[in-house]
A and B are shown apart, each in its own frame.
Chain A
Amino acid sequence: MFKLLRYLREEAAICAVIAPLMMILEVSMDLIQPKLMADIIDIGIANQDISYVILIGEEMILAAFIGLIGGIGNSIFCAIAAMKMGEKLRQGLFDKIQTLAFLEIDKFKTSSLITRLTNDISQVQNMVLMVLRGAFRSPLVCLGGIIMAIALCPELSLVFLVAVPMIVIALIIILKKSFPLFTALQEKMDRINTVMRESILGVRVIKAFTIEERQAERFGKANFDLMNKGVEAQNMNMILWPIVTLVMNMSVIAVLWVGGNMASHGTIAIGKVMAFVNYLIQIMSSLIMMVMLVLNFSRAKASADRINEVLHTLPSIQDNDSSGGMKGFDIELKNVFFKYNEHSENVLTDISLKIKEGEKVGIIGATGSGKSSLVNLIPRLYDATEGQVLIGGIDVKKIKLKELRENIGLIMQDNIIFSGTIEDNLKFGNCNADRVSIDCAVRDAQAYEFIMEKENKYQSLVEQRGKNFSGGQKQRISIARSLIKKPKILIMDDSSSALDMATEAKLQSAIKARMVNCTVVIIAQRISGVMDADKIIVLDNGKISAVGTHKELLRNSEIYRKIAVFQLGEEVLLIG
């Protein structure tokens, strides 16, 4: 929690200092009121002096007014401090996420990162607001009350020696137990968010495969866990309330009893016992306020920890001193092994292959055979667990990330387009692209027609996640987007799956013509998509099963032949 205080800087820090000062102004004006009141009674009434009563009354109004200014000032400065800090923190976290590699992002999970950026930040922000507005007040009143009480009667003050440690110990024990519980609660919360996001975003898949029941079961389990953890965590904190009130009430009784006895022996004035009880009650209510704050603190602490966890993660993929430029575009994989995390199994096993600059290469294989994982290694979305990925003879780990990614156009399976206009999306990788090259790329991507049919053409609005476009349209926009980048290596990861055969064929020949001297790697489900490639790689269960041209593979590869026969019919063997 305190680590995050470094985000309280510049104007936020200044306001965070002014805010409690304003609070002190308000509190001191509040504290003057009883004294003025006593003056009215002791002097005004005692002397039967109405004009004095009115004079002091006026002073009280003035004090109330100054107090109001202090209060409003506190409110304003608190707001500035907390909101500015929240802004800095949010920006810091967002910027950090931008530097993370997918290894880390997968570990955190996207949905959890989103919760951290939204809910967790709000929690911390509220905590700061609350601390600035209230926290200074309670300890102040508490401490002041204890000092006044000791001054009043040291003997009776012994009660604090018993009561205060008891409360502090109870507080520490319960907090120690509740912190991990709240962290666990947040995890359960993440879990339910993950299931829900899957269900909402993947609704088509779920409906298509009618796996609603299975999803509902998963949700039911996550929901049940969340409920139980919630009960556990909240119950732990709820114990604090009765303990604190009980201790303080018992102290009041002790003071009454001891004080009463002392009074009967004449060692203390009765008025002092009453005043002492009043201080005790004041201290008690400020203690309860502090407990409230602490309870909220354990929630905010869990959030702060989750934010810190991200902030302290070292990105596994970033430039270093030895990063240099590229010296060619031949791709080579040397004994590459890859797995997504330590505990999972190898997705790629001992892959070695070479792709020469300008070659057209197809990759084919069953779902889960590691096709996407393989191409993800080239622009370093992930790094190989073992082995080397080389481009132009240089290990990709030694190439400047910006340059590497500028030269590689990877069009993903799940096409992500962003809200904005179509043009914004097209210029995403190359904001200086001119109209001619955009037009040309859009034509090649077979997107020209449907864009021109839109009322606002390139200026048509894209909604969040591009949900006002069909799957095929989104695919074509993302293809065009990558073409506009003019990459030296173009990788299409099953990125034309939503297009019909005829459009796909047109797309293929356009790309062939466009990328004459460039490397093109195409992952396809349909064999027709890779048939004319210079080289086809057949992946099976993370291993290279065969490499060759269409004709060679029909002869040599059992797997390839099976797919070919299944998709193209028996006659393919005759032609081949």
Chain B
Amino acid sequence: MANEKVMPVIGPGIPNGPGNRYRINEKIRNTKVTIKRFIKYLGDQKKTMMFTFLLCLITTIVSIIGTRMNGESVDNFIIKGDMAGLYNICLILTAMYLASAVTTYFQNRFMVSIAQRTSSDIRRDLYRSLQMLPLKYFDTHSSGDLMSRLTNDVDNINMTLSQSITQFFSGVINIAGMLIAMVLLSPVLTLVGLTTTPFMYLLTKFIVKRTQPFFIKQQKELGVLNGYIEERISGQKAITLFGQEEQVKKDFEKINKKLTKSAIFAQAFSGIGPVNNAINNLTYLIITVCGAYFILAGMDLTIGMVFTFLLYMRNFTRPINELMNIFNSIQSALAGVERVFEVMDEPKEKDSERAKKVSNL
């Protein structure tokens, strides 16, 4: 699975689900506090969430064990011609997969409802606090920015909750499971295979750092464009009355072209996908060559083991790549959460303590 991940998303659009988001690594000022406060929003849904994690655990473990059992059934039953044993293992597998389909379904359903309910609560509270803000706040803050917090940020939270969280969870379990399987099979090859992992991490960080300015530029120009759209479309009557349609089209074209230019740069050079893919291929190469060397050197290793190990490695690196993406989207969702809380925390307009009721008009 090389680059199924379409990384950058022209923000502030609605994110497209897992793995498709790649935003600027937004700085979160106080991760712990934000998370804690956010968890409060889950309220009594925390139990449902725990249950969902349990379902997720089952699903993931079934898929790990299932893969393993496929192989075992070949080794232990088909090769030996034990049809009764094969029959039994097929029955067990069927039961397991049926169960995992059910758990997957409910796990997704629960997460969708948790996500929708939480984001709807947040949206409601945000709107309420918005209503209580003093007029001055509206004069000093752009309406587009406020709208974007209420729509994009909250929607981002929704998407992340409904998809990324369970993926993150099952990704971690998968990685741990595969790591255990690899160590059990061959500790030496595991060590060899893991040498590229930190390298991959560092390279990813390097690329993200290098491409960030492009993203910032893109975000900025997107802001300009959205501002222009917002203002001109709302002021369409004036444009029509003054017959300025053509001029406005031309101005828009300029801004539009500028955005495209920086967006292309931002999107094109953020290709972590191909780089990861190349590193993965190198990892397989290192394992194969080292495996071959170890076998030739007379170590306790068989060709079959190297093959199986390569399979495990594939299942190990895939979720790592995904996790990096998911981590980005969780981070950007958290930044959104923080922006939302920021508005909620603005000092509210309230009557002074000595304010009296107007009794006589």
Is A418 in the interface zone, CB < 8 Å from B?
Answer: yes
- Chain A, range 43-79, C-beta contacts under 8 Å to B: 44-45, 48, 50, 53-54, 57, 60-61, 63-65, 67-68, 70-72, 74-76, 78-79
Closest CB in chain A relative to B307 CB, distance in Å:
8
B residues less than 8 Å from A405 (CB atoms): 240-243
Is A223 in the interface zone, CB < 8 Å from B?
Answer: yes
Is A274 in the interface zone, CB < 8 Å from B?
Answer: yes
Partner of B116, one of A64, A216, A227, A249: A227
How many contacts A-B (CB < 8 Å)?
360
Question: In the complex, what residue of chain B is closest to A415 when comparing beta carbons?
Answer: B238
Is B306 in the interface zone, CB < 8 Å from A?
Answer: yes
Is B230 in the interface zone, CB < 8 Å from A?
Answer: yes
Is B190 in the interface zone, CB < 8 Å from A?
Answer: no
Q: Is the CB of B271 within 8 A of A72?
A: yes
> Number of A interface residues, CB 8 Å?
139
User: What is the bound-complex CA distance between A129 and B232, given in angstroms?
Assistant: 28
Is A212 in the interface zone, CB < 8 Å from B?
Answer: yes
Given the known inter-chain contacts A97-B233, A114-B233, A402-B243, please indicate yes or no for A270 contacting B79, CB distance below 8 A.
yes
Given the known inter-chain contacts A64-B285, A189-B151, A219-B124, please indicate yes or no for A241 contacting B108, CB distance below 8 A.
yes
Q: Is the CB of B242 within 8 A of A26?
A: no
A residues less than 8 Å from B108 (CB atoms): 235, 238, 241-242
User: What is the bound-complex CA distance between A67 and B2, given in angstroms?
Assistant: 10
User: What is the bound-complex CA distance between A299 and B15, given in angstroms?
Assistant: 10
Closest CB in chain B relative to A516 CB, distance in Å:
23
- Chain B, range 311-355, C-beta contacts under 8 Å to A: none
Is A537 in the interface zone, CB < 8 Å from B?
Answer: no
Closest CB in chain A relative to B284 CB, distance in Å:
6
A residues less than 8 Å from B109 (CB atoms): 235, 238
User: What is the bound-complex CA distance between A412 and B273, given in angstroms?
Assistant: 54
Partner of A118, one of B123, B146, B229: B229
Q: Is the CB of A250 within 8 A of B274?
A: no
Question: In the complex, what residue of chain B is closest to A317 when comparing beta carbons?
Answer: B240
Partner of A134, one of B4, B142, B282: B4
A residues less than 8 Å from B257 (CB atoms): 87
A residues less than 8 Å from B295 (CB atoms): 45
Partner of A41, one of B142, B158, B244, B288: B288
Partner of B232, one of A40, A204, A381, A418: A418
Q: Is the CB of B238 within 8 A of A428?
A: yes
Interface digits, B264-291 against A, CB 8 Å rule (1 contact, 0 not)?
1001111101110110011011001100
- Chain A, range 83-105, C-beta contacts under 8 Å to B: 83-84, 86-87, 90-91, 94-95, 97-99, 102, 105
Is B169 in the interface zone, CB < 8 Å from A?
Answer: no
User: What is the bound-complex CA distance between A224 and B17, given in angstroms?
Assistant: 22
Partner of B249, one of A67, A68, A94: A94
Q: Is the CB of A118 within 8 A of B13?
A: yes
User: What is the bound-complex CA distance between A72 and B87, given in angstroms?
Assistant: 48
Given the known inter-chain contacts A379-B241, A428-B244, please indicate yes or no for A249 contacting B97, CB distance below 8 A.
yes
User: What is the bound-complex CA distance between A226 and B247, given in angstroms?
Assistant: 38
Q: Is the CB of B285 within 8 A of A418?
A: no
Is A264 in the interface zone, CB < 8 Å from B?
Answer: yes
Closest CB in chain B relative to A521 CB, distance in Å:
14
Q: Is the CB of A134 within 8 A of B6?
A: yes
User: What is the bound-complex CA distance between A44 and B163, given in angstroms?
Assistant: 45
B residues less than 8 Å from A71 (CB atoms): 2-3, 271, 273-275, 277-278
Is B239 in the interface zone, CB < 8 Å from A?
Answer: yes
Which segment of A120-128, A339-347, A506-514, A522-530 sits at the interface?
Answer: A120-128
Q: List 28 A-B contacts (CB under 8 A).
A: A30-B281, A33-B281, A54-B289, A57-B285, A67-B277, A67-B281, A71-B2, A72-B271, A75-B273, A76-B269, A83-B263, A91-B249, A91-B252, A98-B245, A102-B240, A105-B236, A126-B6, A138-B4, A192-B151, A227-B116, A234-B162, A243-B101, A277-B74, A416-B234, A417-B238, A464-B142, A465-B231, A481-B242
Residues of B within 8 A of A (CB): 1-6, 9-14, 16-18, 20, 66, 70, 73-74, 77-79, 81, 83, 86-87, 90, 93-94, 97-98, 100-102, 104-105, 108-109, 112-113, 116-117, 119-120, 123-124, 127-128, 130-131, 135, 138-139, 142-144, 146-147, 150-151, 158, 162, 226-227, 229-245, 247-249, 252-253, 256-257, 259-260, 263-264, 267-271, 273-275, 277-278, 281-282, 284-285, 288-289, 292-293, 295-296, 303, 306-307, 310
Residues of A within 8 A of B (CB): 26-27, 29-30, 33, 37, 40-41, 44-45, 48, 50, 53-54, 57, 60-61, 63-65, 67-68, 70-72, 74-76, 78-80, 82-84, 86-87, 90-91, 94-95, 97-99, 102, 105, 110, 113-114, 117-119, 121-123, 125-127, 129-130, 133-134, 137-138, 189, 192-193, 196-197, 199-201, 203-204, 206-207, 212, 215-216, 219-220, 223-224, 226-227, 230-231, 234-235, 238-239, 241-243, 245-246, 249-250, 252-253, 256-257, 259-261, 263-264, 270, 273-274, 277, 285, 289, 292, 295-296, 299, 379, 381, 401-402, 405-406, 408-410, 412, 416-419, 428-429, 431, 464-465, 467, 478, 481, 485
